[in-house]
Structure 1
Amino acid sequence: MRKIKMIALTGILLSSTILGANTTVAQASSNKALSVDKSEIANNVIQVINELLNSSSTASNVNSQTKFSDLEDGQTLKVAPIFGQKTDTQFDNVLQGELNVVDGNEQLVPMTTVTRGDNGFVTEVKYTLDGATKTVKVDYNFAKPIVSFTNNSQVMNFKAEDGNDAIQKAATDNSDVKAISSNGADANGKANSTSVSGTMDDGNKSVTFTPKDNYISGIPAKRTINLYKESNWGKFNNSVGGTVNDVSDLTGTVLTNDNGNIYLLNTTNVVKSADGKTATFDYKATAIDAAGNTVTDAISGEPITYTSGEQKVNIDSSTVHPVITFKDKTSGNTLFTNFPKDKTTFTIADIKAMLPEGYSLTGNYDGFTATLENNKQTYYVTKSADITVNYIDVTTGDSVGSEELQGNEGTPAVLTKVPKNYKLVNQSDILQNLSVLTPNKNIYVTPKADSNSLNYTVTFRDKTTGKVVGTESQGSGNFGSYVGVTAPDGYALASVINHGFILLKNDQKVTKYVVAADTPYNVSYVDQDTGEEVGTQSGKGANESKIVLKAPTGYAFVNADDINYTIDKDTPTSTVYVQKSDQTVDNIVSGYPRNGNIKIYDGNGKLNDDVVLSEGSSWIIDKTVTINGAEYYRVATNQYVKASDVYKYTPLQTVAVTNGTNVTPVYNTKGQLIIDRALDVNTPWYTDRSATIRGKKMYRVATDEWIKASDATLN
């Protein structure tokens, strides 16, 4: 699976000329909050916040409280691990805040350590209140290590001739197997270490690898072992039928032997008889997998091949012997071959009947009639590769949910049903490449950090004078959440990065800069054909800021650039020309990025070789017409663009905050999933346009990158 480039920025700046601009993405350098690795914070969030709240003297509101009166003597309490080197006093203070045992006034009850392990972790404590003492055992929610197979080593293939001892030694070798643990160093500062061991099982058809670290055994994972045996050459000949038009018809064919192994066949040492009616040859059979890829022996590192003894075939050049080959659409690999014996003319229904279960034809095909001049035909297919994803909690090893992903071999799919209150251990797992080789897959998740209600205060300062303006904004939210802010009356936020912040601690103090929004503007809309004023738009805003104008009802802008208006204190009054139009909604189009210049046609659909629109530029349309069965948009007098060459959009100037539970998928302008890129959850992105793409409303966050409106909230 490709590694996803995770983007988590607090501000995205687009080109100052939004429409038709070459939009770029840049990180807002003045705020580094989102550069924090949340995966590291998750295990230590309780510790961090307790220390901020001075939990040694006051019970925090981070963990759920346990009243001393409800506590049973000898009870076990589970807490998050406290990683990293600490003195005994530091560790005990943090642990006391995590256990959070309080009296009737919600004050922490004094805690005394009873037992401390060699790793510095306290395993037993006692509480004393009003003359009563109760002992508590401490159990830590360590994350269970998981197994990672490198170099595509989760499946190993062997020739039967390799021998049982060699196969077992290679299959249980763990040099390409790693144990991965998210647990940190112990309280003494000793770094956590991992190991993994494997044992043969299931009749030597698989190996179970079990990981462990310094704290806990992990979640086992299996390596599949495939054993390849020499082909039943007679079965191959029987499949062919013993007679072909030419020996070359056998080259590049794919057949399955009695053992279920799939082989790509080629002929060698071909010798034809003097009369040309028979030929002898050797088969060279190369093992392939269900996707048509060559299978390599795990011991020798060489492709698994077998060569037959002398084979014989009849050659009949006077009768048609059809050869029908099926190839994978994506890879071009040959998947299987048919040698029909009872007919030479085939309908599409006949071809579909030859397909194994799960395969389907791609594209529109006609029937096929084999002739002596052309007895071969190739069809491209895809295979259904539906998989079941099992979500495994790394803290318990238990299944906490599942999801069915549907699609074809080699296509990407997005996880959409990550269990509530869990997050992915590896964020790149959000995108899965479907494969028939993995009908079931375990995806590891970890519980989210507790929702912690944290307080914040926002102070607004005038960017020009530096003085505090308006009143402070106070509120509360959950740890790691994005908090959007609104400027005081009479002011506007100075830049995108001032639209909000990430809440990371209690009593967080935030300063946001604003500018005076006291510059008046008045826009007069004038009909370009009559010269008459047909509407106005006025108000106040920040000098040099941009607003999106709206044309009067029944009219459309003449120039796309006029839609985004810049407030200018030196020119408070402006004239914008409009024209009557039946295209008053979604009447702006843009060419697709990296799709070349946009071709222009006349009213009869004839290409205009003298004029093109620049790549990615935006244009107002005033009419939609159908020419020769295709849809066109008019961009000027007798100048049209094909609807298929452009997309409609609506201008925006706002911030979209991703609102999923894990990462947010990114799509290109044609609605295709970008499989190596995603946006972090709960992060703000500047967006300059919305569009309906493949039936889904989306927001643009970069030149050729969009997110679904359902995955974001406009701020």
Structure 2
Amino acid sequence: MKKSTSLLLSGILVSGMVLGTIVTPVTVNAATQATTQADQTVTNYVTFVNADGNTVRSSQALQGTKGQKITFAPDGYTSADSSKAVFGNNGDSKTVTVAKMISVKVNYVDQNGNLVNSETVNGGEGNDYKLTNLPAGCTWNNDAEQTINLVDGKEYNVPVTKKVSNTVIFKTADETEVGRTQIFGDKAGVKVSLTDAQLPEGYTTTSKDLTLQNEGNTQFVTVTKSATDGITPIKGVVKVNVTMAHLYDKDGKTLSRSLGKNSRWQTNNKMVLNGVTYYQVSTTEWLKASDIIVEGSTNTTPDKDNNATDTTAQKPDVKAVTTKDKGMAQLYDDNGKIIESLQLGPNTPWATDLMKTLNGEKMYRVATNEWVKVSEIK
């Protein structure tokens, strides 16, 4: 605590001289920190009135910080723009002007007098309201026209400048319409790029760039269905490029099977999972792209030296097959050739999706380009 000392003189002033005695010095205790206005929480008794001075709600106790603006308003009202009331000393009475909440209709009209869009806005009667929902493809004529003063029952026509617009219709390769959008620009001939949000959900296109045509024209954009879950349909053949390539399921988990080096496999799907690319080689099995070489399109035509007779594959008469209890079950390709590097273990079940007859023997497909003879299953 700071101490200050003062000398007090008593006496009278005579001809410029002080006559009297010196009083003993006294010690005065000064406060260490002054209480500021911002630190004071006060209770004021507030009466709410409308712009005409009529009471909306009588005295109500409100707490706040001294000097802070009073923004509270009764239900159905909001603080009036003209209200400047702030919290005063504890126990003070205050009068706050409030505005009744109203709804008004706003019409946006272009330079040709055409209605572009309408909306309903809410605010306090007599208050200013800044419009922010500018219609797509339009600009404000000037900043002042963005603000309106709210009058109950009034309908507002706000002028805007509309840009040149074209309708874009999205179609698939078979001419099926899957969506529409609008594009805008300052004039015909300018380049406009479609946004992802404008494309139909679940579709993509090879190019999003368009050239704006004359006002009111329609443009057509071809789209394709987006890949689901990171899977892209493809047709091709992959060749194992490592000593043994592990197989994975659709979640990227390692399976118990592996494929030998230089073996070739048909693939129907490509998948990107957590940044890793996989190729599907059977119903539930995938190879990593890092373990293979993609060789191109599949050729399932029998070799000229292969005289195997192939009946049309059809839906199997069972959902799964199980190999015999003893010995390994040899696998064959689509043309009936032995796949040297692949066999099925004894007494193992395998899902099957097709069956056919090759060289007079019934066979079941257990993976892409992998078949097992009926004589090797139970």
Q: TM-score, normalised by structure 1?
A: 0.18
Q: Which protein has greater RCO, CA pairs closer than 8 Å, 6+ apart?
A: 1
Larger Rg: 2
Larger helix share, 1 or 2: 1
Which has the larger strand fraction?
2
